[in-house]
Structure 1
Amino acid sequence: MSFVLSKRMTIGDYFIYGSIVLFSFICLAPFLYVVSVSLTDPEVYVPFQFRIIPEQFSLASYAYLLSTNSFLNSLKNTAYITIVGTIFNIIVTFTMAYGLTKKTLPGRTFILYAVVFTLVFNAGIVPNYILVQGLGLINSHWALILINLTNAWSLIVVKSFMDSIPIELEEAARIDGCNDIGVFLRIIIPLSMPAIAAFTLFFAVAHWNTYFNAMIYLTDSSKWTLQVLIKTLVIDSGSDAVAQAGSSGEQAALPQETIRMASIVLAMLPILVIYPFLQKYFAKGVMLGSVKG
C-alpha cells in the first residue's frame, strides 16, 4: 500500500509564489525591454514606449552595428583581451597555486601572508596608474592584462583544491621518473580540469566586462573595449562614436535608441552563449577546495 501525501496551498504559499513571480518579472523586465527595443523596426519605433514584444520585428540596428568599423574594432579588441588575458590568468594562477602547496618553497609563508593581505587592502587607483605609466603601458591592451594576472581569491581557492589531491599520486609519478614540471603537467593539470573550466569562465567574464580600467588606461578610441564604446553610446548623449563609421543616410534612418539597445544585446550575447556550456562547472568552481577528503 502506498500513501500519497498531498499538501494544500495556503494563503501564505500563494503569497510567496506570487512574490517570486513578481520579483522575477521585475528582474527580467529591463532585459526584455532592451531586447524588444533592439528588435523594433525603426519605422514604427516610438520613444519611451514600453513593449515586451516589438510591434514589428527588424534586425536593421544589428545589421548597422555589425557594418560599422568602430563597433567591430571594439569587439576585436575585447575578444583579444579576453582570450589572451584568460590564458595568462589560468597559467599564472595554477602554476603559482601549485608552488604554494609545497611547504619546502622558500618564502612560502611570506607569500601566503602577502596574498591574504591583498584581500583586505589594495594600492588604489592612483598608485596603479603610476605603476602602469611607469611600465609604459598607457594606451596599451597589455595594461588590462598584466595588472590582472591573478587575484588572491582565485589563488587561495585553487591552492585549497590542489591541497586536496592525494600526495600519493605525486609520489607515484616521481617514482616513475617525473620531476616537478612533469608532475604538474601530467598529474595536477588533468585532475584540475573542472577547476580550470570554472576559472576560465570567471576570468573570461571579468575580462569581457572590463570597463573602468579600460576607460582609464586606453586613451585612443581605436583601442577601446566594447564596454567603453557602449558607455559612450548609452551615457554620452552627444556621442557619435558608432555613427562616424557608417554612412550619414543610414544613420539618419535609424533611431539612436535602437542602436544603443542593439549594442547592449550584442555585448551580452557571447557570454550568454558560452555560459550554458560551462554552467555545471560554475557551481562546482565556487565550492572547490571548501571540503578536503
Structure 2
Amino acid sequence: MVRKLKRKPSAGSRLFQAANTLFMLALVVIMLYPYWYVIMYSLSDAKLAGSGGLFLLPKGFSLAAYETVLGNAAVLSGFKVSLIVTLTGTLLATFITAATAYAISKSRLRGRKLFTLMILFTMLFHGGMIPGYLLVKELGMLDSYLALILPSAIGAWNIFIMRSFFAGIPAEVEESAYIDGANDLVIFFRIVLPLSKAVLSTIALFMAVMYWNDFFSTILYISSKDKWALQAVLRDLLTNTSTAMQSQGISIAYQQEISESTIKMANIVVATLPILIVYPFVQKYFVKGAMIGSVKG
C-alpha cells in the first residue's frame, strides 16, 4: 500500500494564505460595518448618537426610535401591504416565469423562435413610464394591489436563466415519463419543477427582493395611503420625519430622546430585516441556481 506523502507548504505559500485571509477579513468588515453602524446608531440615545464617531456598540442603549417607527400605524399598514404583495407577486412571478421558460425550451413548440425574439425584444426596448401607466389605468388596476404585482410579474432575463436550466435537463427523463403515459402538465409539475428547486429558489429570491424594495410603483399607481407599500411609507417618513413625529402626537420631551437620524436608521433596519432573515434559508439554492443559470445554455 503506497502512502501518500503530504507536501509541507512552503513559507511563501503560508504567507500568501495569511495575506489572503487578512484581505478577505478586511473585505468582510468593510462590507458589513455600514449596516452594523446603522443598527448601532438606531439603538443609540439621540444626544449621544449626534456626537458622531465610530459605532461598535450603541451609545446609551435606547429603543425609542423603534418604538416611534413601529408605533406608527402607517408603517404597520405598509408592512402588511408589502407582505401581501411580496408573497403573492413572488409566487405568481415564479410560476409564470417557469411556465414560459419551460415552453420556449422545447424545440417542438411551434413559433418557438418568434416567441423567444418577442421576449428578447422586451429586454432591449421598453414602452416607458407613461405608456405603462396608461395601460394600468385602462385595465382598471389603478389604486389596487394588482398594479403593484402584475406589471413586474415577469422579466425576460429571469426567463432566459430558467430556460437555460430547463434545456439542461436530460431529454430521457421526459421521454420515460411520456412512455409511462404522462402529459406535458404532469411532467412539468411532477418532474421538472421538483428537479428545479435551485433555479426556482434563485428566481423567487430575485423577485421577492424586487417586490419588497419597490416603492416607485406605489407612488405611480396608488393614491390611497392605506394601500401604500412599506418602502413608500418609509420613504415618506425619511423625507418628512419632523412632520411625521408631530402628526403622531409625539411630545416634545419624547422627541428629545429620539432624533431624525435615529428614526431614519431604524427605518432602514425595519425595511431590510425581513430579507436578511429569509436569505440564509435559501442561500444554498441561490448560489447553486445562479451558477447553473450562468453557465448552461
> For the superposition of Structure 1 and Structure 2, which TM-score range results when normalised by the shorter chain?
0.7 to 0.9
Q: Provide the rounded CA distance (Å) in 1 between the counterparts of 2:13 and 2:197.
A: 45
Question: Would the alpha carbon gap of residues 286 and 3 (structure 1) be closer, same or farther in structure 2, given more than 3 Å must change?
Answer: closer
Q: Provide the rounded CA distance (Å) in 1 between the counterparts of 2:44 and 2:18.
A: 36
Read off the aligned partner of 1:170 and give its amino acid letter.
E
Task: Check if 1:258 corresponds to 2:266.
Answer: no
What does 1:9-158 align with in structure 2 at a 5 Å threshold? 24-42=28-46, 44-47=47-50, 49-52=52-55, 53-158=57-162
- The alignment partner of 2:192 has SS state of helix
Cα drift, residue 105 of structure 1: 2.3
Identity across matched positions, percent = 36
Task: Check if 1:207 corresponds to 2:236.
Answer: no
Read off the aligned partner of 1:49 and give its amino acid letter.
G
Question: 1:275 corresponds to which residue?
Answer: 279
Read off the aligned partner of 1:274 and give its amino acid letter.
V
Q: Is the 8 A contact 2:197 2:285 kept in 1?
A: no
Question: 1:221 corresponds to which residue?
Answer: 225
Cα drift, residue 26 of structure 1: 4.5
Question: Would the alpha carbon gap of residues 271 and 243 (structure 1) be closer, same or farther in structure 2, given more than 3 Å must change?
Answer: farther
- The alignment partner of 2:48 has SS state of coil
Q: Gaps spanning 5+ residues in structure 1: where?
A: none
Deviations 1:11-49 (A, max 9, x none): 99999877766665444443232111110134x434251
Read off the aligned partner of 1:72 and give its amino acid letter.
L
Kindly indicate which of the two structures has a greater share of residues assigned to helix. Answer: 2
Deviations 1:131-165 (A, max 9, x none): 11211222222112111111111111111111111
Question: Would the alpha carbon gap of residues 85 and 48 (structure 1) be closer, same or farther in structure 2, given more than 3 Å must change?
Answer: farther
Deviations 1:211-244 (A, max 9, x none): 222222222222111111222222345541x663
- TM-score (normalised: structure 2): 0.86
Question: Would the alpha carbon gap of residues 2 and 110 (structure 1) be closer, same or farther in structure 2, given more than 3 Å must change?
Answer: closer
What does 1:211-250 align with in structure 2 at a 5 Å threshold? 211-236=215-240, 239-240=243-244, 244-245=247-248, 247-248=250-251
Question: 1:179 corresponds to which residue?
Answer: 183
Deviations 1:253-292 (A, max 9, x none): 4323212211110111111111111111122222234445
Read off the aligned partner of 2:136 and give its amino acid letter.
V
Which stretch has the larger CA shift, 255-264 or 143-152? 255-264
- TM-score (normalised: structure 1): 0.88
Task: Please report the RMSD computed on the Cα atoms of aligned residues, expressed in angstroms.
Answer: 2.8
Deviations 1:73-130 (A, max 9, x none): 0111111110000010111011111111232323221110011112222111121111
Cα drift, residue 249 of structure 1: 6.2
Read off the aligned partner of 2:210 and give its amino acid letter.
A
Read off the aligned partner of 1:143 and give its amino acid letter.
A
Question: Would the alpha carbon gap of residues 15 and 235 (structure 1) be closer, same or farther in structure 2, given more than 3 Å must change?
Answer: farther
Which stretch has the larger CA shift, 225-234 or 203-212? 225-234
Q: Provide the rounded CA distance (Å) in 1 between the counterparts of 2:76 and 2:9.
A: 59
Question: 2:292 corresponds to which residue?
Answer: 288
Q: Gaps spanning 5+ residues in structure 2: where?
A: none
Q: Is the 8 A contact 2:136 2:147 kept in 1?
A: yes
Read off the aligned partner of 1:31 and give its amino acid letter.
Y
Question: Would the alpha carbon gap of residues 251 and 139 (structure 1) be closer, same or farther in structure 2, given more than 3 Å must change?
Answer: farther
Q: Provide the rounded CA distance (Å) in 1 between the counterparts of 2:184 and 2:8.
A: 59
Cα drift, residue 64 of structure 1: 3.0
Question: 1:198 corresponds to which residue?
Answer: 202
Deviations 1:187-229 (A, max 9, x none): 1111112221221111111111112222222222221111112
Question: Would the alpha carbon gap of residues 14 and 292 (structure 1) be closer, same or farther in structure 2, given more than 3 Å must change?
Answer: closer
Q: Is the 8 A contact 1:232 1:239 kept in 2?
A: no
Read off the aligned partner of 2:88 and give its amino acid letter.
V
Read off the aligned partner of 1:182 and give its amino acid letter.
V
